[in-house]
Each structure stands twice: as C-alpha cells, then as structure tokens.
C-alpha cells in the first residue's frame, strides 16, 4: 500500500458533490484529510490518499476527469 500527499482544488460545480466518498466507495482508497477550506464557490483539500498503486492511479484519473485539479505535494509517504 502506498500513500501520496495531495492538494485538490474543486471548481464551484463540484462543491456539493460527495467526491471523497466516491473515492472510497468506487476506488478502494483511504483518505486522510489534513486541511480543508470550502465555501460556496471554491474548495481546497490537503490530504493523504492511500491504496494500491493501480487504485490510486484510477482515483487520480477520476478526479481529473470530473474537473478536480491535483497537485502532488511530495513523493510517496511511508
């Protein structure tokens, strides 16, 4: 299992969607939210996402596909 630290930026259209729940349910990854700032027009989450390499890659693909910006903050965390 690997863990990656990320910053996710959500556009306004996704603010009220259960994106993190969807990651857990559909992609079998484990989120650890370290910091979040969400209002009516903008959302930003700093988190660690853990899972098997293939599951993480699929989860990243899903996030990009729906319009979430992803910034990888550092290499994999042990």
What mean pLDDT comes out for the span 61-66?
A: 98
> Do the beta carbons of residue 50 and residue 77 sit within 8 Å?
no
77, pLDDT greater than 60: no
Q: Which CATH superfamily is domain 2-72 in?
A: ACT domain (3.30.70.260)
Q: What is the pLDDT of residues 4-59, one digit of tens each?
A: 999 999 999 999 999 999 999 999 999 999 999 999 899 999 999 999 999 999 99
Residues 13, 34: Cα–Cα separation, whole Å: 23
pTM above 0.95, yes or no: no
What residues does each domain of the chain span? Answer: 2-72
74, pLDDT greater than 90: no
Residues 51, 59: Cα–Cα separation, whole Å: 10
């Amino acid at each position: 299992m690997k863990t990656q630290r990320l910053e996710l930026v959500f556009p306004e259209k996704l603010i009220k969607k259960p994106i993190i729940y969807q990651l857990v349910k559909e992609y079998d990854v484990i989120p650890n939210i370290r910091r979040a700032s969400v209002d009516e027009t903008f959302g930003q989450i700093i988190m660690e996402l853990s899972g098997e390499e293939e599951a993480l890659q699929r989860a990243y693909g899903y996030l990009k596909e729906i319009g979430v910006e992803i910034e990888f903050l550092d290499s994999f965390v042990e």
